[in-house]
Amino acid sequence: MKANSFEELLIWQKAIEIGVEIYSLSDQVPLKSDYKSRDQLIGCAISISNNIAEGFEYNNKLQFIRFLGYAKGSAGELRSQLALLVKVNRVSEETYLKLKEELIVLSRQIKALMTYLKNKKE
């Protein structure tokens, strides 16, 4: 299947879902008043979908692969921030484990697309 827009990409759709979850989490106590952590979490979360979209829109395979790498990096950064926030009791262990699993799956999917694109003949 060839995607005609980034909105058709399952990885972008999943990144948006994770972003929505992070916004919801950030609106709850205690993160609601922890502005620094809240901003960091939201920034990382939206960076995943934004990098997928931006890379796709360049309409250049190498640029897309590069931006997919950035998106994958942002997913890792978000996992790291969530791990820290669980340790300082800003995020529950249950929420952390759920989001961690979703982010690991998303990272694998991004990596698989990167590999596919690298190996794809023009």
Exposure letters 40-52 (e unless 16+ CB within 10 A, then b): bbbebbbbbbbbb
What CATH code is carried by the domain that includes residue 106?
1.20.1440.60
**pTM for this one?**
0.95
Structure tokens at 92: 């529950």
In this structure, is residue 105 part of a structural domain? yes
Q: What is the dihedral of CA 85, 31, 103, 69, to 10 degrees?
A: -90
pLDDT at 32 (0 to 100): 94
In this structure, is residue 1 part of a structural domain? no
What is the domain count for the chain? 1
In this structure, is residue 3 part of a structural domain? no
Per-block mean pLDDT, blocks of 10 residues, the chain (122 long): 91 98 96 94 97 97 98 98 97 98 98 96 76
